[in-house]
Structure 1
Amino acid sequence: MPEITYVRGDATVPSVKGPKVIAHVCNDIGGWGKGFVLALSRRWPEPEAAYRSWHRDRVHNDFGLGSVQMVPVGRHLWVANMIGQRGVRTGSKGAPVRYEAIDTALARLAGEVIELGASVHMPRIGCGLAGGKWSRIQPLVDARLAQRGISVTVYDHGEGGG
């Protein structure tokens, strides 16, 4: 059974062979501009453009908590925009992270990844600006991806991920 592999490095530069998906968590209000998304935008314009378009046209699509948008950014390389946080600020309802939405998105991602025969690469999703705890997210990643035979690499870059 594959396990989650932890490495130091940049999740936007996965160094394994074969098809790869870079997964990260987005908010549900159309905001893109802080955290891991900046690293994505420095490498490719497509994930941000696709996310903004997806949000703008949300009355006609599946945009919302738990949804996943697969964005091709290269040959055998995709970015998975996963909606897993409500808003961007910590308030009366706690941190923006929504564990149930991340769980749903990871389950949806698994189907896509299995179909592509891809490995998954991510920062510690939901733990940066979303305010989540890895101790709650790691079991979701394990159950939805690793236990289904998907190779998962989590990158620690120095700052919080996701």
Structure 2
Amino acid sequence: MKPTIRYAVGDATAPPGPGPRIIAHVCNDIGGWGRGFVTALSRRGPEPERAYRAWYRDRANNDFGLGAVQLVPVYENLWVANMVGQHGIRRVGGRPPVRYEAIEEALGRLAEHALDLGASVHMPRIGAGLAGGDWARIEPLIGKQLCARGVDVTIYDLPDG
């Protein structure tokens, strides 16, 4: 049976359970880090931000760009996947920064990492916060790129209050 998306109330930066786990989130393509989910990630440790900023700085010599994924080890059996899925940080001509095709591409790359590591994937509602995306368009991409390939996914919503 193929995994389905599981929803949980909790903190996506601290996924519970045994085994390898990947925390996935969406980044922008302009090197900006400092609002939204990334602030919670940075409170847990400096590695994801440090790696993202270095990846961006050296973008002329690497794969940084829409659809790319950077896997950053943070603890034993825990990684953060920096997925580039938004263009800029502001609406332009009424269009939000989210890029669904880039998120889909990044999720496909994330699936390969997760399968190689035997890892589950944990995330907030990626692309639907500051990126301005529609969760109803993003959720099926997660199902197609991760669950359909056998990757367990948990989506976290923060508790009310």
Q: What's the TM-score bracket when you normalise by the shorter of the two chains?
A: over 0.9
- 1:23: which partner in 2? 24
User: 1: CA distance between counterparts of 2:94 and 2:62?
Assistant: 27
Give 1:91 deviation, angstroms.
1.6
User: 1: CA distance between counterparts of 2:17 and 2:97?
Assistant: 32
Residue 63 of structure 1 aligns with an amino acid whose one-letter code is F
User: 2: CA distance between counterparts of 1:52 and 1:116?
Assistant: 24
User: Which 4+ runs in 1 deviate beyond 2 A?
Assistant: none
Give 1:158 deviation, angstroms.
4.8
- 1:35: which partner in 2? 36
User: 1: CA distance between counterparts of 2:17 and 2:145?
Assistant: 21
Give 1:93 deviation, angstroms.
5.6
Alignment partner of 1:81 is 2:105: no
User: 2: CA distance between counterparts of 1:87 and 1:143?
Assistant: 26
User: 2: CA distance between counterparts of 1:61 and 1:25?
Assistant: 18
User: 2: CA distance between counterparts of 1:103 and 1:90?
Assistant: 20
Q: Deviation per CA, 1:109-144, whole angstroms, max 9, x where unpaired?
A: 000100000000000000000000110000000000
User: 1: CA distance between counterparts of 2:15 and 2:65?
Assistant: 27
Residue 145 of structure 1 aligns with an amino acid whose one-letter code is L
User: 2: CA distance between counterparts of 1:89 and 1:55?
Assistant: 19
Normalized against structure 2, the TM-score is what? 0.97
Ranges in structure 1 where 5+ consecutive residues have no aligned partner:
none
- 2:144: which partner in 1? 143
Give 1:16 deviation, angstroms.
1.6
User: 2: CA distance between counterparts of 1:27 and 1:153?
Assistant: 22
Q: Deviation per CA, 1:1-58, whole angstroms, max 9, x where unpaired?
A: 1100000000011012100000000000000000000000000100000000000000
Normalized against structure 1, the TM-score is what? 0.96
Pairs aligned (count)? 159
Identity %: 64
SS at match of 2:18: coil
Residue 48 of structure 1 aligns with an amino acid whose one-letter code is E
- 1:70: which partner in 2? 71
- 2:154: which partner in 1? 153
User: 1: CA distance between counterparts of 2:159 and 2:52?
Assistant: 26
Ranges in structure 2 where 5+ consecutive residues have no aligned partner:
none
- 2:135: which partner in 1? 134
Residue 9 of structure 1 aligns with an amino acid whose one-letter code is G
User: 2: CA distance between counterparts of 1:33 and 1:158?
Assistant: 22
